[in-house]
Amino acid sequence: MRRIESHIDTNAADYKANFAAMSERLKEFHARQHAARFERPQRDIDRLARQNKLGVRERLKLLLDPGTPFLEFSTLAACREYDGAVPGAAVVTGIGIVQGREVAIHANDASVKGGAWYPHTVKKIVRLLDVALENRLPVVHICDSAGGFLPLQHGVFPDRYLGGRVFRNQVKLSQANIPQIAIVGGHCTAGGAYVPTLSDYNIIIEGTGAIFLGGPPLVKAATGEEVSVQELGGAVMHTSVSGTGDYRAATEQHAFALAREIVSQWKRMPKTIIETAAHEEPYYDPKELYGIIPKDRKTQFDMREVLARIVDGSRFHEYQPDYGTTMICGFAHIWGFKVGILANNGVLFNDSSLKAAHFMQLCNQNRTPLVFFQNITGYMVGREYEERGIAKDGAKMLMAQGGSVVPKFTVIANASYGAGNYGMCGRAWDARTLFMWPQAEIGVMGADQAANTMADVKIRQLEREGKQLTEVEIAAIRDPVLEKFRRDVEAYTSTSELWDDGILDPADTRNALGMSISAALNAPIDDPHYGIFRL
């Protein structure tokens, strides 16, 4: 495979301006991420200390193998909900390494509202368990939750992908022979009681851990019985009387040591074999991505320059280099894993759509995972393109993409508008992981177009009513809409709503993809099969 030849001039003024703008964005991003992870009101920190509990980050440190990576999902989930008072949606999820094994981790963050389940909490946990199911990853649950957040119970409890889905997924995991362990480091009340009880193994920490369907106040209200937490569902009772708990741990440290010992008993399943090569760092510095990504989203840039800073050795074998050139297709290695890459270099035309559909079929045939780099404003519109069957060709691309049996991974590198989001494996299309870069946008169309479209509708309506609008009046209609749209398409909105698995510093993309691909290979790859292509 040949090295991509970069044409970036790191001394150029626009490179430097881009670099400065991205650095500024990343500063904000890292600050927000740090706050979501670590900054808590003193009373919450004090409460944990009083309860003799470790914070969720310390717990992860005890759980994970030292010196190994942890791919955290959706750190900024719920960042635009609940007045920002539920950082991370009160739960930490991700993929980490325990005793040399890749595991999915679901850990309540009791420093946020006592670890209560908000609607976004549930969404984040369900997503994690979906990841575990799709990739056949063992799950470690670290339970410490006050239970469902009652004022928002409608958003937590009843629907198909709400609370019940957590337990349903646990059952499906077990059914699929995927082991789970729960460490009970706080209360598991009501539905929460099923997390440890549906796990193959569970460990209860003495003094702090407890499992019950109804806590002491509820019991008292229901039957008048007065009973202490420990009597009702403490470690000693459950491990010696009810058999609900498997192991009793004297301390948090003890619990995680036990958990690690238990995980080390699990059989290592052989991973799916795909083409691999020796690891090679990118030839070009990934930090240069900061200067490549334009500070103005509307500025076009060559996605090959991006690939050159992510793939092994900056090497790329491009497929059909001279056909359908707004769609870059080709093979590369990421952390040694052979992947087929689809990256946008402009709007999708008929030829670029057909090229993408054909390339995806090649990859499926060859069991090569797919990685999508989105910078897409959509499929080309207009009479000429409709006549050429752009919708038909787009459908072929969707059929090939949606019908792919190989694992898919998506990076929303810049724009993700309209049907382009679908064709390029947006959230609805089962990418094993999907990450956004901080400046990226996602929407039916760009904020300006959307605002203009909506303002035009309003203006035309007023004109029909005979009103002649001044520039100021037009701006008064347009600007609030624009402002709302700009906010709605931002990566922070997407990540708050869990439309992605998190915002990434572009320089972290290579590792995030490596972790994702490696995890995906725990699941087998089916034989290729498709629906009907509209020819």
Give the interface with another protein as residue ranges (CB under 8 A). Answer: 65-72, 97, 99-100, 102, 250-251, 253-254, 256-258, 260-261, 279, 335-336, 502, 504-505, 508, 511-512, 514-515, 518
Task: List, in sequence order, every residue forming a beta bridge with 98; answer none if it has no partner.
Answer: 101
- Min dist CB 29 to another protein, Å, is 11
Which CB sits closer to another protein, 91 or 360?
91
Which CB sits closer to another protein, 397 or 521?
521
Which CB sits closer to another protein, 315 or 355?
315
Which CB sits closer to another protein, 115 or 502?
502
Phi then psi for 446, rounded to 5 degrees? -65, 155
Residue 6 burial by Cβ neighbours in a 10 Å radius (0-12, 13-18, 19+): middle
- Min dist CB 468 to another protein, Å, is 54
- Min dist CB 271 to another protein, Å, is 9
DSSP state of 466: T
Which CB sits closer to another protein, 393 or 501?
501
Which CB sits closer to another protein, 87 or 502?
502
- Min dist CB 96 to another protein, Å, is 9
DSSP 3-state assignment of 55? coil
Residue 49 burial by Cβ neighbours in a 10 Å radius (0-12, 13-18, 19+): exposed
- Min dist CB 2 to another protein, Å, is 24
Joined tokens for residue 76: 């900024």
DSSP 3-state assignment of 145? coil
Which CB sits closer to another protein, 430 or 508?
508
Instruction: Identify the CA nearest to 448 among candidates 484, 496, 413, 494.
Output: 484
- Please report where in the chains the tokens 């598991």 appear, as a residue: 188
Left (φ > 0), alpha (ψ -120 to 50) or beta: where does 179 sit? beta
- Min dist CB 437 to another protein, Å, is 12
DSSP 3-state assignment of 410? strand
- Min dist CB 334 to another protein, Å, is 10
Distance CA 515, CA 71 (A): 7
- CB-CB contact of 263 with 138 (8 Å): yes
374 vs 24, 280, 334, 377, CA distance in Å? 22, 24, 17, 9
- CB-CB contact of 168 with 128 (8 Å): no
Report, in angstroms and rounded to the nearest whole number, the Rg of the chain calculated over CA atoms. 25
Which CB sits closer to another protein, 91 or 166?
91
- Min dist CB 408 to another protein, Å, is 19
